[in-house]
Structure 1
Amino acid sequence: MPLSFLTAEGGQDESADAGAAAPYHASGHGAEARWWRPYRPGPWRVAIASLLLVLASYLLFAGVIVAAAGSLSGAGVSVGVAVLVIAGALRSLRMGVWLSRRGLRQVGLVRTTTLPWGRVGAIRTAQQPVKWLALPRTVQGQALVLHGADGAEPRTLLTDHNADFLGRPEAFDLAADAVEGWAARRRG
């Protein structure tokens, strides 16, 4: 199973030619359905997911102890909460912008939005106030903004202060360039 987040920095596979940002050149069955993220998950995102998985391991251990003490309902609650924490940690690792020949997909913690390339207007990098690690606090930073072809309100795809790019401005630039390049090729 190919792990798209393990490609070279900026989302380019070393075997790809310099002009192509896509790691997949296959045209066989299922090639159109492959989604890939043009950047690696950032250290903040991985650290948060790791802490959640450590918390889940403690919850599972607590469930075993509670079950050994004789309370199966308490153990079930502990294991159920652990499963929810594990699902949240795994989902947080999938969050971000994914690209395919079919369109652009923005994966959030609880919601995923997919836009076919025909509905994507312009994608540009802009200086604007952005959220710091998705918290209510805003700071001045760069954002990759999608303007829909239908004139809908602009949507922020990536920021240089989110969990993937905080402290890694060059990774943000590479990811923004890859997404902008894909959008330009698919529209053009």
Structure 2
Amino acid sequence: MPLPFLTADRAFDANAEDSDDIALPFDDHDQWRRPYRPGPWRVGAAAVLLLLASFVMLAAMIIAFAGAMSGAGLCLALGLVVIALALRLLRAGVWVSRHGLRRVGFFATTTLPWSQVTGVRTVQQPVRWLGLPRTVQGQALLLGRKGQGEPLALLTDHNADFLSRVEAFERAADTVEAWGAEYRTETP
């Protein structure tokens, strides 16, 4: 079974070895891609949710064999909701294509065409640690938007994908900046 999210870093590394500039690592630029792998915190949280879902589904089966179909249906529905939450958690992140930039959050998804993007840059600033209210000094990849005064933080080096993975953050930030530099100039 192909796992396309595992090929992001390999494609970037292969192109980086061939040239000194930042190359866009994918052949098909029309398809939405996440230019980095999900981090261990995100994958670990999703694995725990899937483990919980397996126990809930097992409970649904036991309840169904006991004859209480309404309780089994409730447990089955709860298990499916937990599976959907785990999949949504794994899908969260920044996705890029020729058409624009997509920021997939846990509850909402925002898509901006490259024509609405004024700039993508990495800055040093206080960032949230694993999305919690606590802030620490770190790096953030900021997205400037037309008509919006405040830039949007796309990635930080202390989120669930890049905590303790500074090189991966820098690679992902460089890749998103390269996509922005490539397609912001092409749009009228």
After TM superposition, the score normalised by the length of structure 1 is 0.89
Does the alignment pair 1:14 with 2:17?
no
Q: CA separation in 1, counterparts of 2:174 and 2:180?
A: 10
* Shift, 1:65, TM fit: 1.1
Mapping 1:64-103, distance limit 5 Å: 64-103=61-100
User: Aligned-pair distance for 1:77?
Assistant: 0.9
* Counterpart check, 1:144 vs 2:160: no
The 1:60/1:109 distance shift into structure 2, 3 A limit, reads same
Distance 1:138 1:15, change over 3 A: closer
Pick which of 178-187 and 166-175 moved more: 178-187
Q: Which deviations, in whole Å up to 9, do the C-alpha atoms of 1:145-168 show, x marking residues without a partner? A: 111122342111001011100010
Could you say if the C-alpha distance between residues 130 and 148 of structure 1 is closer, same or farther in structure 2, counting changes exceeding 3 Å? same
Who is 1:44 aligned against?
41
2-11 vs 149-158, greater mean Cα deviation: 2-11
Cα 1:182–1:2 change in 2 (3 A) is farther
What is the alpha-carbon distance in structure 2 between the residues aligned to residue 35 and residue 160 of structure 1? Answer: 22
- Aligned partner of 2:156 in structure 1 is 159
Aligned length: 182
- Cα distance in 1 for residues equivalent to 2:11 and 2:123: 21
Supply the AA of the counterpart residue of 1:113: T
Percent identity (aligned) = 58
Contact 1:10 1:38 in 2 (8 A): no
TM-score, length basis structure 2: 0.89
Mapped contact 1:7–1:13 kept (Cα < 8 A): no
Gap change, CA 1:15 and 1:182, over 3 Å in 2: closer
Q: How far does residue 169 in structure 1 lie from its aligned partner after superposition?
A: 0.4
Q: Is the helix fraction higher in 1 or 2?
A: 2
**What's the RMSD between the two structures over aligned residues?**
1.9
In structure 2, give the amino acid aligned to 1:59: V
Match of 1:23 among 22, 26, 32: 26
1:130 aligns with 2:130: no
Q: Which has the higher mean CA deviation after the structures are superposed, 49-58 or 61-70?
A: 61-70
Distance 2:158 2:77 in 1: 33
CA distance in 2, matches of 1:36, 1:3: 12
Structure 1 position 54 matched with structure 2 position 51: yes
